Structure 1
Amino acid sequence: MATDALKSQVAAKWQESFHRLNADAPGIVGLMQFSEAWRISTQFLYPWDINSMPVDEDGRPYGRDLEKAKPAFALVNQSRRLPALLENFLEDMRKSFHLVENEIAQYMARYEASDNTDELQALVSRVMEWYKAWAPPVELGATVFSTYSLNFQTRLFSVLPPSFADGFKRLCSLLLQPPGDEAEQEGYEWNPGAYAALWKDFEMLGLIDRYESIIASVGYEFIENYILTKCSGEWANPMLEDLRVWMSDRVVPWMLHVYARGASSPEEARTMLQGVGSRFDFHINKTLCDLRTKEIFDIIIDFPDSMGALQDLRDCLQRVDQREKLVKSLRKANQKRLLHPGADTKLILQQYVATIRCLRVVDPVGVLLYKVADPIRRYLRERPDTIRSIVANLVGDDDSGDSLVDENEPVTPLQQTDVEDYSDPQWDPEPIDAGPEFRTNKPSDVISTLVSIYDSKDLFVKELQVLLAQRLLMVSKEGTDRVERERRNVEILKIRFGEAALQVCEVMLKDMSDSKRIDVHIQSQKSSVVHPTIISRQFWPSLESSDMVMPGQFKELQEQYDKEFRTFKPDKKLKWLPHLGTVSLELELEDRTIEVDVPPLEAAFIELFSEKKTLTLDELIVAVGSVDKSAAIKALSTWVDHGVLKEDPEYTFNLLERAEEAGTGGGVTRERDMVPVESEQPTLSVAQQQQADQMRVYWKFIEGMLTNLGTLPLDRIQTMLKFAPGYDRTVEQLSAFMEAARREGLVIVRDGMWKLNK
């Protein structure tokens, strides 16, 4: 049972409410007026079904006479019952919203069945009709209208099916671009203003704010598709600025409706678009950078015709932080397409040089090059013919026509790593992504970069000596121009490697001149068909030794020449290397004469058949000294191919004085012009391998050091080896030996530290 105090409080509240509603009118007149105003207001705001809304005698929607409703709204507001009226209206809208939901379901069912975005446009227009029909008058104030809009949008989003988001994205795509390629071919002109009303409906229904990420994705995908279509494989010219012009012509007008709604002036619109415009420009840079990153290996192959793509990549990387992605992509492509046994060393070197030049365009500081080049350099270091390929290119011994060195690049000395000068006012710190060893690998010219693959340039100098020796020993007696060309090559190499490094090469060239002068003198004393190349044993790389001896007339010719040489040079002695060189022969058989140039071993074998018509393989080998059986078979097969010898039975060879019928057509004496056989290059032991063989006796010492101490630098190994008996090698010779051991898999090296390969 209520207390007296509670009754008194309720009575006071009732009296207060009555006086507020009655407005000091006599009796309950004011209350009756408020009741009528409430009826008129709720009837005006009631959310009728727009498909069957009742009309009055004047044909207007029932209860929708705004002039009559204004006084009623004013009285309700005066009585401070407007919040209650709004609450009542929103509750009525909740009960009637199933009408909107039913129509949405019908439109979405037709869209899902036909996949036609026209149904979505019609749906938006229809929902807009419901929205406008139920909207309260502006006379009730902005608060009432915004509350209505928020409530309507909330209920709208709650009833839209999941498929609407996909359809809305397709609809936005249609508003951004023409409906098809045929439209452009027929002269279709894109007019973003034609959809201004539709964008206005999107804004009023809250669809732009609700699906902002979807609308942005439409713009991003449109940009991506355009870039992939227009820029894929187009590397000659920069494309970035053209893409920005295209965006201002095609994308920015579309962005005005989405992101610059309500702008009253171009300056205001520009301010509103500044943030989103920056994001879209960033996406252009990112998409183009992703494309060029995927194409980077082929872009490098196409250099310098791909300079435009490299410039775009450089500009994009300044805006987009994808340097690490570029490094990973290029290293992966190199590993898959370049660094494998099927790739020729010259091809790998060419790609490496192109990579150097391309990445210098993209990143002049060289951080990207350092990270990308490291696997290539390690792989080239493990290839046994890398030094020879580089050296062959340096001396012009490359027959492919693709030079590693730019002809316009001046010949300069090899560059050494610069020491940091922190007092230099132009000094800049290294980029944040530069590794701690970055400064140790920054020579600027290509040759210095290639030579820096190895720890010491001495390896290159020794290989230069070996290659020059091979080339000089292949020069014929008429090859004066060839020697002069080699002399010019040595002069160029002096600039790169220094005078001291090429002194041995100078001696070899002098030996060639002296050899020609000695031969001219001996020939003037006693003419001979022998024209040997006389070299200084101490200054030439060691030639492969052989126990072979020349039989018959060849031996006599050697002895006669040796006698004349001792007369001319009594303090010198010739040591013949009969397995090297070329012999020009004229074979006179019963029915034919054969002229041919062959290696000495083949000449020695055929000379033996002048004494005996049938010889076995073993007899031939014994007669010329100790030669390899496979080399002997190869030499004899040459005469079998010429039809001079016949093997019958196996390993027994017979001289064919008369050509067999199948070979020459029987008994016709004629001269056979044979294609001269190119003489093989003299076999020279590579300098590194020579030193490795000489130092194998010290391997046990080195192995013990690395076993007990783990990893050691080269200078520490050299210091400890000096305690070994008889050790007198230089650190360069030790370096060559350790490099040979690494190639054999005995040791590994990382950052100058050597350890056993367990």
Structure 2
Amino acid sequence: MPLSNHTGLNDALRSQTSIKWQECFNRINRGQNNLAGLKEFSEAWNLATEAWQPRNINDPNWRRDLNKVEVGKAILLISTCRRLPGLLEWLLDAVRDNFHLIIAEVDVYIAHFEETQDPLVVLQLVNRVREWFNAWSPLTEYITSAWPAGTSSSGVGLSHTILSQYTAVFQRHLFASLPPAFAAAFKALISATLRRDDSGLIPLIPHHKPLWDAFEIIGLTDRYESVIAAVGYERIEEHILASCAGEWVETQMDKLRAWMTEVLIEWLLLTYARNAVGQDNARAMMQGVASRFDFHINKVVCDLRTREIFDIIIAYPDSMGALHDIRHCLQRVDGREPLVAALRKANRKRLLHPGADTTLILAQYVATIRCLRIIDPPGVLLFKVADPIRRYLRERPDTIRCIVANLVGDEDGGDTLVENEPVQPLHQVEVDDYLDSTWEPEPNDAGPDFRANKPSDVISTLVSIYDSKDLFVKELQVLLAQRLLAINNDDNERLDKERRNIEILKIRFGEAPLQVCEVMMKDMSDSRRTDVHVQSQKDSVVHPTIISTNFWPPLESSDIVMPGQFKQMQESYSKEFCVFKPDKKLKWLPHLGTIDMVLELEDRKVEAKVPPLEAAFIELFSTKEVWTMDELVAGVGNVDRIAALKALTTWVDLGVLKEDTENTFRLLEVAEEKVTLEREPRTVIAAEEPAPASSLHQQQAEQMRVYWKFIEGMLTNLGSLSLDRIQNMLKFAPGYDQTIDQLAAFMDAARREGMVVERDGHWKIA
């Protein structure tokens, strides 16, 4: 049974094969007698393959003079016999078998380019490949010329099919055989079409439509589209770096777009819209390309300004153009995070270090606030950039003092820090009102605390570095005390200026916090009236500033006792004051103030305006001419020897005293001639002038020393405690008003002195 079935299957296969073979034979023979049709088909096949055979174009005799009409008829006959696909398959196999001829020439050209780096070599290579392509291309006009009338559309369609398949195979073999160096070589060629010669007018390689048609024919345009775009991008980058780097005064975006229109548009049209029909078609074809190139302009400008952002902020307000460029570019380019990272890195490297003065850091911080408001009005970028600056400033002991000095107008020009800021109350954190029609949600990249720390005016932003404005009010009192005590009795202009400052500060901080400052200003006015009355009763050269101790910040103490006539003047003035105000008594602070002196010596008069210590020393020389350092110090009280040496050096420099031997000084009644004396040089360390009022930092340190006994008792009786628990327990101590940050700073200082130790956030007695 299986044998019978197998036999039947073979018979059916033979029958079917015979039928197919007969159909094919009849189709090729076309029903003619004998083998005449088959012979005609064979001759047509030979003629077609002869016409389409890929040849070596380096051979002078590679061309064949064939009758196009006959070749076209042969191809038409093959197509009629439905054997055109077989002819095309033969052609593609022949192209593959002979492609080594093209590969050999490509390798020669690429090697030549690598030696010379001449883009003309690459142009020659492209033209040569195009010659090979045209030489091996099937002559499809044979088909259209021989096709019967009325069927031209079929012939055109068939020609397009044959040519497209040939092109695809040719390009596939070409790209598979191109060496890796071809991409760089082709890029050099494209660059040469965009770059100009020394005159700046003529491209190094002619930039015209035939060149790009050649690229299109052999498939280079699509294959290396990214390379072509990269050339345009690099040209944009070079121009922006050359023309925009460091140019911050005016915005550059309009100039860059004008340059793109003048220089790049022609190149882009031939590159991406060379086959456009009319301007509308060209505009439609260029829309996507122009958008990509415009995006790249924004990206390059944004990257450049990001690298320059720190210096742009330093140059504010002369860098307004660059700031508007950044704002414009960030609307198209996702460059917010890189901008924040770059500015934070630059701040850490160039600003937030011990070598930078606090006033400089504050000035840069204020400039950063103003610049980032222009770039990003909602303030998200400022919130992210300002946090490290604020934390660093909070750790500096003189930050509050510098801010306050700028609020009241520093005589050294520091008032420019808050210049042009409106005088208004300090900004208060506002709760979101969701019923407000103008309410807007937070930006997507805002941090969790963004709304609570949203920046307002510059002054409020500076004050918000600290948790409480009470610190600033106390520092205001200290600074005001120092400034008032430095004012002479006849300097009404400076006193009026301080009074105006207080009025401005009332607007910012409110009336109640500045009541102490009002008392200080009243003391100054009362002091002048008192002095006028005392002077009317008994004329005196002493013009003291009389203050109310309870309402002024703690003043620096000193053990200086003014000798001789200065003591007599003080006692005389005190008597007259007690007559005028019997319920009050003067307590002199002789180390503060200045004294105008005229020294009458034998041969000259010396006029000097000196601090009290210098005056006290020179007064002692009225009793005898030679004094030792120890005697002088004993004569005025307990004085630091360095300060004493500095005071005596003042008179030595004026030629009033002379140091005969070390630490022994003599009064020069008769001036000596200035001669160079050989003596061992002495290193003098200049001590800073004592401030009339203790700084806020010093006051806080003194207050914390008072509470140390409380802290010591806690840690002794209760063992190790966390900082939060110490803070909560200290709140029960009378008068304790320190923040937890101030407590942490004090505990850290105590740890450095070996008084306490800290482990895992808990403190205990060392």
Calculate the TM-score normalised by the size of structure 1.
0.89
The residue correspondences of 1:536-547 to structure 2 (distance < 5 A) are 536-547=548-559
The residue correspondences of 1:372-521 to structure 2 (distance < 5 A) are 372-400=385-413, 403-407=416-420, 409-521=421-533
Q: Find out whether 1:143 has 2:161 as its counterpart.
A: yes
Give the counterpart letter for 1:245 in structure 2. A
Match of 1:33 among 31, 40, 46: 40
**Partner of residue 171, structure 2:** 153
Q: CA 1:287/1:711 → structure 2, altered by over 3 Å: closer, same or farther?
A: farther
Give the Cα–Cα distance (whole angstroms) in 2 for the partners of residues 635 and 322 of structure 1. 60
Q: CA 1:425/1:27 → structure 2, altered by over 3 Å: closer, same or farther?
A: same
Give the counterpart letter for 1:249 in structure 2. E
Give the counterpart letter for 1:162 in structure 2. P
SS of corresponding position for 1:594: strand
Contact 1:707 1:756 in 2 (8 A): no
Give the Cα–Cα distance (whole angstroms) in 1 for the partners of residues 719 and 374 of structure 2. 46
Give the counterpart letter for 1:728 in structure 2. P
Q: Find out whether 1:720 has 2:745 as its counterpart.
A: no
Give the Cα–Cα distance (whole angstroms) in 2 for the partners of residues 219 and 290 of structure 1. 17
Contact 2:722 2:763 in 1 (8 A): no
Contact 2:314 2:364 in 1 (8 A): yes
Give the Cα–Cα distance (whole angstroms) in 2 for the partners of residues 103 and 114 of structure 1. 17
Q: CA 1:234/1:649 → structure 2, altered by over 3 Å: closer, same or farther?
A: closer
Give the Cα–Cα distance (whole angstroms) in 2 for the partners of residues 371 and 282 of structure 1. 26
Give the counterpart letter for 1:175 in structure 2. T
Contact 1:256 1:273 in 2 (8 A): yes
Q: CA 1:268/1:743 → structure 2, altered by over 3 Å: closer, same or farther?
A: farther
Contact 2:379 2:455 in 1 (8 A): no
**Partner of residue 111, structure 1:** 113
The C-alpha deviation readout for 1:94-150, integer Å capped at 9, x for no partner, is 232233233333333433333222222222122212211211133352221111001
How many pairs are equivalent?
723
**Partner of residue 173, structure 1:** 191
Q: Shift in Å at residue 63 of structure 1?
A: 5.6
SS of corresponding position for 2:547: coil
Give the Cα–Cα distance (whole angstroms) in 2 for the partners of residues 360 and 81 of structure 1. 76
The C-alpha deviation readout for 1:682-738, integer Å capped at 9, x for no partner, is 4321234324312334347668699966564xxx86543244xxx12254x446843
Contact 2:88 2:162 in 1 (8 A): yes
Match of 2:692 among 675, 678, 683: 683
Q: Shift in Å at residue 224 of structure 1?
A: 0.8
Calculate the TM-score normalised by the size of structure 2.
0.88
The residue correspondences of 1:138-287 to structure 2 (distance < 5 A) are 138=140, 139=143, 140-178=158-196, 180=197, 182-184=198-200, 188=201, 194-287=207-300
Q: Find out whether 1:330 has 2:343 as its counterpart.
A: yes
Q: CA 1:757/1:25 → structure 2, altered by over 3 Å: closer, same or farther?
A: farther
SS of corresponding position for 1:440: coil
The C-alpha deviation readout for 1:201-245, integer Å capped at 9, x for no partner, is 100100111111111111110111111112111112211122223
Give the Cα–Cα distance (whole angstroms) in 2 for the partners of residues 720 and 678 of structure 1. 40
Q: Percent identity?
A: 60
The C-alpha deviation readout for 1:396-429, integer Å capped at 9, x for no partner, is 223236601223x331111112221122222111
Q: Shift in Å at residue 746 of structure 1?
A: 6.4
**Partner of residue 384, structure 2:** 371
The residue correspondences of 1:607-622 to structure 2 (distance < 5 A) are 607-622=619-634
Q: Shift in Å at residue 267 of structure 1?
A: 2.6
**Partner of residue 354, structure 2:** 341
Give the counterpart letter for 1:458 in structure 2. D
Q: Shift in Å at residue 53 of structure 1?
A: 6.1
Q: Please identify, of 339-348 and 37-46, the stretch whose mean Cα deviation from structure 2 is larger.
A: 339-348
Give the counterpart letter for 1:342 in structure 2. G
Give the Cα–Cα distance (whole angstroms) in 2 for the partners of residues 637 and 621 of structure 1. 14
Give the Cα–Cα distance (whole angstroms) in 1 for the partners of residues 311 and 675 of structure 2. 53
Match of 2:329 among 291, 306, 316: 316
**Gap runs ≥5 in structure 2:** 1-5, 144-157, 677-685, 753-759
**Partner of residue 746, structure 2:** 741
Give the Cα–Cα distance (whole angstroms) in 2 for the partners of residues 508 and 248 of structure 1. 68
Contact 2:727 2:743 in 1 (8 A): no
SS of corresponding position for 2:416: coil
Contact 2:110 2:185 in 1 (8 A): no
Q: Please identify, of 321-330 and 471-480, the stretch whose mean Cα deviation from structure 2 is larger.
A: 471-480
SS of corresponding position for 2:106: helix
SS of corresponding position for 2:417: coil
The C-alpha deviation readout for 1:554-585, integer Å capped at 9, x for no partner, is 22221111111111111001111111122222
Give the Cα–Cα distance (whole angstroms) in 2 for the partners of residues 708 and 345 of structure 1. 36
Give the counterpart letter for 1:92 in structure 2. A
Q: Which stretches of structure 1, 4 residues or more, deviate above 6 A after TM superposition?
A: 190-193, 703-707, 754-758
Match of 1:556 among 568, 572, 580: 568
**Partner of residue 750, structure 1:** none
SS of corresponding position for 2:419: coil
Contact 1:599 1:679 in 2 (8 A): no
Contact 2:629 2:663 in 1 (8 A): yes
Give the counterpart letter for 2:258 in structure 1. V
